[in-house]
Structure 1
Amino acid sequence: MAKFSNRFWFQLHGWFSLPIWIVFCFICITGTVSVISHELTWLTNPNSRATNPQHLAEKPMSELVDIVQQAHPTAKITTVMGFESYLVNAVVFSDHDKPVAIAYVNQYTGEIQEINLGITFTSFMRSLHGWLLFPWQNSYSVGYYIVCAMAIVMLGALVSGLMIYKKFWRAFTQPKLRVKQGKKTLFADLHRLAGVWSIWFLMLMSVTGLWYLAQAVMWQNHVEIDPHSPLVEISQVPTLSKNAPAPVPPFTLANAIDIAQQTFPDFKSTYIMLPEHQRDTYKIYGEGNEIFYDQYSYGVAVNPWTGEIESKRSPANMTGLQTLSHIANPLHYGTIGGLWTKAIWFIFGILLSGMSITGFLIWGSRTTKAAKSKTNKPTKYGNTQPIITQQESN
């Protein structure tokens, strides 16, 4: 019975990953690269580096918007994004000759270091990993569902793998890696060791992946997790006279950022959306001092005509779904502790990618051996197959 049980778990372990092995391995590799995509951008593109040799104070995002607006007077600026302190801020705008452009602005010196007219490396890798570049339509993407479904595969492979590897906890204190007994033995030892030491990482990726799957279902069914900011009351917008220029709101972006900083202590803005029309608001999002929440967990929507806060959010007033939504990414991509946790997530991402490869090699070796054994099995009329000598089998 025990032998049958082990065989069952081994077959189940294989079926959880082998039918979609290439997709699973691809997602693991692209996810591993995505973890350090900002750092790779810093290494490969000098214009993305926020150099600060004179140790200047960081300029507010409103000043960066003014710098880009002066350089491109006819541009319509829509978004400002802040990243790690060693990366420049990104100001997104459109112009008559630039449908979509991203200005790389050094937040210390105020210099526009580059105008990017295409997709960034980080955006490309996150899109490739997140939904395999499948198109989005009607609030869903087939690729997003495929990627999220890998969480089920990963969790099933983890549970079945632990059922196969009896007393797996010994690998923590007595790791076994036999390097002189052939490739098959070496791959098997590497696969088991990486699996045991990555239990916490596999669980974390599975849980966050299952949340992304649930989130996808809610998106497709138009279930709001973070509700949209309300529109400004039409009575608060000045009446537009014929042939008169559009009225300018009395409260500027700088005022809106000040209001956000007064609302939340230790607030640092990381993502700003400027009003798109007369009834829209300034949307100021940022981070506080909670390490498990993402960089958009704090936010206010400020009325540009009255300076009032139309809506706000913070970890203190989030619903359960909102909390899950804002802690999933830091846990999935390892941004909770900066470079140190990113390095840890990157290392275990490599281990996970390696496990998918060694698992396939082990399965291939066993399948080939089983096929040879079946071919050389004697028939009822005698052994009509050629005999393989010991020297040939070696």
Structure 2
Amino acid sequence: MSRAQWFKVHSWIGFKLSVLLSFTLVTGTLAVLSHELYWLTNPAMRVDSDTVKTLEWTKIYQSAITEQPNKHLLHIRAPIDPWFAAEVVFISQDKIRHRMFFHPTTGEYLGDGRWYNWQRFFRMSHRHLMVPTKVGVTIVGALGFLLAIALITSLVVYRKWWTGFFRMPRRGHRKLFWADVHRLTGVWSIWFIAVIAITGIWYFVEVWGLRAQYPDRGKALSEQALDAKVLPSVAVFSGMMASAKTLYPELAVERVFFPQRNGNGVQLQGHGEALLVRVRANMLSFDPISGQLLVKNKGEDLSIHARISEAADPLHFGTFAGLPSKLVYFVFGIVLSTLAITGTYIYGMRIARVGKHEPKVRRKIWLAATRTMTWGKWFSLTAITICLVITVLLFGGFVNE
């Protein structure tokens, strides 16, 4: 293929679905800091970090069952940063999930929050556009293929791209300026585009049957726990947390999941010695009545297939090093979103044929670009519209939380 043909492929790939791609990139960028955004909008999530000494799981658990004595708790989540409250999720009698927030050290109840919040909105809209998971992940994951092709073709089209890291945009002409901005942001984003494309493709193949097999999570032994989804007593729960320090000293517990089905155990999940795994990879499971250990799973013992699957989320959302890595991903998410938008604008300039001094130039460029998208425009707008309509129906007034 000639360089001109490579460029045509690059333009077509990055242009036809650029509206949907831009929407996905923007929601994904905001999803990286979605917990922090919710922290800003809900005072109940905030604590003075100077008052946090240790994470007292038992005090939080005891406060939670005191606050909601007749509700079934789903899980407790440790604060993601010292200024966050601990979070407890329970399900009401009408099968709706709710959140409660507690001081990590004292266990004091700080307030509540709805299940459908900013964090859920950005996660769900980015991951599967609010539609059924298999359909939505297929659509969003397919964009990973587009990103991969766009990256490969850009490296062919942009000769000696490795010399462009510090080449400032030329300001003499509109087309040259935006083309140079596009190249500059593209060069700096090569590593990020590769990571997002590969993990996006992985989500696509996973949803179509390439899911990894995981070790058994254990089945309750006591008769009461086999017949119903039961919560442990405070004493048994305290014993589980104490046992965890002996049974798995490397485990830094971050989440405690309570039985959601008959026969389930209480799962203590967190970070261990394995790198780039979700917290679910490291786990201790206990019988909710007796507190007896059921299963001990370590991330380093997973199969290669499972380790690859586990690495997808930390790499895709940049959670592997806490807030610093998330901030890096947030910045490069903005850059990548800009790259998609400027690419569309550049294509519009190529086909709009407007004079340098014509009025409303930008409007003519965007109109020319959107007209040329044809089916891609309508597919993108339909998908985004469905996503937003479902959001309104499902989330209601979550903006006011």
TMscore range, shorter length: 0.7 to 0.9
2-side partners of 1:150 and 1:14: how far apart?
15
**What is the Cα deviation at residue 109 of structure 1?**
3.1
Asked if the contact 2:225/2:262 (under 8 Å) is kept, the reply is no
Picking from 158, 163, 172, the partner of 1:170 is 163
* TM-score (normalised: structure 2): 0.81
Runs in 1 of length 4+ with deviation above 6 angstroms? Answer: 246-251, 390-394
Q: Superposed, which structure 2 residues align to 1:108-187 within 5 Å? A: 108-136=105-133, 141-172=134-165, 174-179=166-171, 181-187=172-178
2-side partners of 1:83 and 1:148: how far apart?
30
Q: Superposed, which structure 2 residues align to 1:1-394 within 5 Å? A: 5-60=2-57, 62-85=58-81, 86-96=83-93, 99-136=96-133, 141-172=134-165, 174-179=166-171, 181-218=172-209, 223=211, 225-233=213-221, 236-237=222-223, 252-276=236-260, 279-369=263-353
2-side partners of 1:29 and 1:99: how far apart?
29
**Which residue identity lines up with residue 60 of structure 2 in the other structure?**
L
**What is the Cα deviation at residue 32 of structure 1?**
0.6
User: What is the RMSD computed on CA atoms of the aligned residues?
Assistant: 2.8
Higher-helix-fraction structure: 2
Measured at CA, do residues 226 and 270 of structure 1 come closer, stay the same or move farther in structure 2, by a change above 3 Å? same
Measured at CA, do residues 263 and 157 of structure 1 come closer, stay the same or move farther in structure 2, by a change above 3 Å? same
Gaps of 5+ in 1: 241-245, 373-387
* TM-score (normalised: structure 1): 0.82
**What is the Cα deviation at residue 247 of structure 1?**
11
Paired residues in the alignment total: 356
**Which residue identity lines up with residue 313 of structure 1 in the other structure?**
N
Asked if the contact 1:251/1:304 (under 8 Å) is kept, the reply is no
Measured at CA, do residues 293 and 278 of structure 1 come closer, stay the same or move farther in structure 2, by a change above 3 Å? closer
Return the structure number with greater relative CO, CA threshold 8 A, min gap 6: 2
**What is the Cα deviation at residue 252 of structure 1?**
1.8
**Which residue identity lines up with residue 346 of structure 2 in the other structure?**
I
1-side partners of 2:46 and 2:322: how far apart?
17
**What is the Cα deviation at residue 251 of structure 1?**
7.3
**What is the Cα deviation at residue 126 of structure 1?**
0.7
| Number of the residue aligned with 2:399 | none
Bigger-Rg structure (1/2): 1
**Which residue identity lines up with residue 292 of structure 1 in the other structure?**
L
Asked if the contact 1:260/1:299 (under 8 Å) is kept, the reply is no
**What is the Cα deviation at residue 83 of structure 1?**
3.7
**What is the Cα deviation at residue 128 of structure 1?**
0.8
**Which residue identity lines up with residue 157 of structure 1 in the other structure?**
A
Gaps of 5+ in 2: 362-401
2-side partners of 1:170 and 1:229: how far apart?
51
1-side partners of 2:358 and 2:223: how far apart?
87
Asked if the contact 2:103/2:110 (under 8 Å) is kept, the reply is yes
